[in-house]
């Protein structure tokens, strides 16, 4: 690997990186029919630790349930994570990713792939982001009473998210922000949105919009509220975000990255708020 | 395997079925970031043949292009397909599936997985289908000028298609038919829609709707037109389909399956037209 990576398989433990671990009949590779979650690992003089593992494992289990998959054996996953962290010796930050698929397509008795990767984070810094607005095609209430659309589920079927990031790069930007067909900001392809209006903060609501319930947004929201700051889920237009006092894309891998431009128009940049959000996210 | 399956890897040839062929870092398993195509294989006293391979390979190449992936080496794929067909000895029908992923996530120099499967078709018959109408969340023009939504691309990110089929089963039906947010029939999760109105036939248009350009619908359309029958792409509401003179879900694996019920309401069944469509599809 050009980037250090560790691979471990549930029931087997650590295996050589690069060794194939998914069969041709697996529903994960055939249909994107499986789930994942991702969380930051920090390795320093104090040892190796994982950020907010409990809410990430809880979301991993919710993703299983939303897909109609059998519940994951979280004790077994915790054991595998412990073994993997014990074998991880790369200083700095890394991303721990858990992947579980529904099963094999034609062999009902055989399990799906269940494995994790730990990959060194070669770009942990978070420069100001130029962000493209990218239509998502769905209305902001399209996911109400439509669980088959898998709103909020971290499924393996992320090709549109990757394509949106490619579209942003094609436009010369660093990242994308999805916009609903009725004109509201949703989320980034791999991040959640937080916006500051004066002393208040807001994020996109999860209900109906299909966006992911971001663990990092939740951690920051808890931190702000603990300081007496108002943090409210509400739908926001791109115009409202442009006129706001700061906007950020939050993710487990990079913390809070401030948006400097939206479709080329500059946003208010707020170094003090950026520092606060990064600190609350644990970065 | 409970169902006979052959696996072959591009550059390697036939490998033992069940052997892992996809690495943990592959973008196909991590993001559904890859493409596939599927076509029927028939093995009988006359030998082993593949239906309509040329248009399926052409679509496979179009899917690569739409995803911004490097063009597939179709000569190499044809060689692998020949080798696989030569090793396939199960009489009856089967499904040949080609899968290619974008690459590895963290090792730019390593290729993605490229393999095929041939899987015996254990349910080639096509009984009348009870079909659930399942909202797709997108308007019928949502894919106009939005290539990042991957309309018409057979990407590996099929989790919503699988979930829609599960939703239909939950309602006691056999299959699903997606409906746009503005109330038009789109396609099945793994099939295209053909409807008969008197002497004319119609199908959902591909432009703007994001539906797949079905090879089987195209083959049937060509056959009907060669007989002087009018075949027109146009948007149809569920009410129009219910009042029509027959409706079918078409796919490479099963040919033309007549819809007997839509959300529990019976449709006109037309055995003569069903026989014609099956014959034109090569079934």
Report the pLDDT value the prediction gives residue A2, as an integer from 0 to 100: 80
In chain A, residues with a C-beta closer than 8 Å to the C-beta of B177 are none
Report the pLDDT value the prediction gives residue A43, as an integer from 0 to 100: 94
Pick the CATH number of B5-120 from 3.30.470.10, 3.40.718.10, 3.50.50.60, 3.40.50.720: 3.30.470.10
Which of A21, A68, A149 lies closest to B166 in CB terms? A68
In chain A, residues with a C-beta closer than 8 Å to the C-beta of B69 are none
> With contact defined as beta carbons under 8 Å apart, do A202 and A233 qualify?
yes
Equal fold, A5-120 vs A129-281: no
**Of A124-128, B142-146, B180-184, the least confident:** A124-128
Residues of chain A with pLDDT under 70: 1
Q: How many CB pairs under 8 A join A and B?
A: 219
Superfamily of domain B129-281: D-amino Acid Aminotransferase, subunit A, domain 2 (3.20.10.10)
Percent of chain B with pLDDT over 70: 100
Tell me the per-residue pLDDT of A147-163, one tens digit each, with 9 for 90 and over: 999 999 999 999 999 99
Angstrom distance (rounded) from CA A134 to CA B116: 34
Report the pLDDT value the prediction gives residue A1, as an integer from 0 to 100: 53
Cβ A139–B137 below 8 Å, yes or no?
yes
Cβ A19–B23 below 8 Å, yes or no?
yes
Residue B101, beta-bridge partner list? B34
Query: What's the mean pLDDT in B192-219?
Result: 97
Distance from CA of B113 to the nearest CA of A (A): 10
Does an H or E element contain B114, and which? strand B114-120
The predicted complex's ipTM stands at 0.95
Distance from CA of B152 to the nearest CA of A (A): 12
Q: Please state, in angstroms and as integers, the Cα–Cα distance from residue A171 to each residue in A174, A249, B33, B64, following that order.
A: 9, 18, 21, 21
Mean predicted lDDT score pLDDT of chain B: 96
Report the pLDDT value the prediction gives residue B1, as an integer from 0 to 100: 53
Angstrom distance (rounded) from CA A17 to CA B250: 42
Q: Where are the domains of chain A?
A: 5-120, 129-281
Q: Which of A27, A68, A117, A137 to mutate to test the interface with B (most CBs of B within 10 A)?
A: A137
- Is the pLDDT reported for residue B178 higher than 70? yes
pTM value? Answer: 0.96
Residue B279 region, left (φ>0) first, then alpha (ψ -120 to 50), else beta?
alpha
Residue B234 region, left (φ>0) first, then alpha (ψ -120 to 50), else beta?
beta
Which of A1, A106, A138 lies closest to B5 in CB terms? A106
Which of B21, B33, B139 lies closest to A24 in CB terms? B21
Which of B3, B137, B156 lies closest to A142 in CB terms? B137
Tell me the per-residue pLDDT of B98-142, one tens digit each, with 9 for 90 and over: 999 999 999 888 999 999 999 999 777 788 999 999 999 999 999
Supply A232's token pair. 């409210």
């Amino acid at each position: 690997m050009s980037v250090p990576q560790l691979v471990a398989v549930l029931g087997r433990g650590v295996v050589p990186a690069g060794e194939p671990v998914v069969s041709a009949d697996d529903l994960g590779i055939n249909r994107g029919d499986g789930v994942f979650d991702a969380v930051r690992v920090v390795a320093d003089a104090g040892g190796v630790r994982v950020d907010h593992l409990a809410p990430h494992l809880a979301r991993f289990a919710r993703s299983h349930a939303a897909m109609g998959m059998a519940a994951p054996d979280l004790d077994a996953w915790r054991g595998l994570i412990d073994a993997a962290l014990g074998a991880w010796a790369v200083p700095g930050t890394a991303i721990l990713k858990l992947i579980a698929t529904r099963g094999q397509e034609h062999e009902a008795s055989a399990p799906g792939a269940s494995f994790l990767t730990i990959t060194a984070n070669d770009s942990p810094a978070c420069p100001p982001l130029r962000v493209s607005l990218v239509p998502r095609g769905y209305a902001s209430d399209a996911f109400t009473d439509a669980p088959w659309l898998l709103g909020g589920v971290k499924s393996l079927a992320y090709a549109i998210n990757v394509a949106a990031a490619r579209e942003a790069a094609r436009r010369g930007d660093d990242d994308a922000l999805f916009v609903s067909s009725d004109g509201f900001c949703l989320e980034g392809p791999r991040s959640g949105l937080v916006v500051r209006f004066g002393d208040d903060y807001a994020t996109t609501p999860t209900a109906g919009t299909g966006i992911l319930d971001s663990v990092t947004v939740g951690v920051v929201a808890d931190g702000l509220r603990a300081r007496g700051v108002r943090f409210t889920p509400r739908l926001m237009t791109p115009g409202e975000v442009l006129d706001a006092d700061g906007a950020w894309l939050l993710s487990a891998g990079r913390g809070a990255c401030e948006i400097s431009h939206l479709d080329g128009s500059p946003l208010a940049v707020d170094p003090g708020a950026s520092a606060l959000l990064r600190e609350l996210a644990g970065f």
